[in-house]
Amino acid sequence: MRRGVLMSMVHKDAANLPLWKASTRYEKPPPLCGCLQADSSYIVPKGKYVAALVKGSEGEDNWILAEVVSFNSTTGKYDVDDIDSEEGRERHILSKKRVIALPLYKADPILQKECLYPVMTTIMALYPQTTCFYKGVIHSLPKDSEDHYQILFEDTSYPDGYSPPLKVAQRYVIPFLE
């Protein structure tokens, strides 16, 4: 798949993420709405995108955007495909702890502030125009349901150790795991 087509697909996936709206004033947002995580028993369905911690070609760990192919309940492992593999699909078999479910709903920044990561929270986010997740901090929150987070990515090439603020959709901002 050509790079431009892949980036367009990633952008559309974020744009098509539904906005969660409560049907009553007392209804609580569901797991995977904004920053709310699913419980440990949650199994990401086939065909959904996840952040997956895989070994790179030089043995280093990388968080990538991947698609769930299957989950084996006997072994507790996912089969995922790297969506950016140049040789077609690159399959990885990963334990649940190496897979993070992406949000299924956007949070409304006006009505569900509790579903947004607070400013200066350390997170991982999809670096713009890539399919890799990198460590960063929340610089500013989305102002409305169509807006994005502003993320400061760790980058030693800058004097303060962080990139300038870059926009990242709610879909691609996930908790930082040590």
**Tens-digit pLDDT profile for residues 17-30:** 999 998 888 899 99
With pLDDT > 90 as the criterion, what percentage of the chain qualifies? 84
What region, left, alpha or beta, does residue 15 occupy, with left being phi > 0 and alpha being psi -120 to 50 degrees? alpha
Q: Is 140 exposed, middle or buried (0-12, 13-18, 19+ CB in 10 A)?
A: middle
Element (H, E) at 66: strand 61-72
**Tens-digit pLDDT profile for residues 43-55:** 999 999 999 999 9
Residues 157, 165: Cα–Cα separation, whole Å:
14
**Mean pLDDT, residues 28-33 taken together:** 96
Token pair 């028993």 is found at 41
**Mean pLDDT, residues 61-66 taken together:** 96
The answer, as to whether pTM is greater than 0.85, is: yes
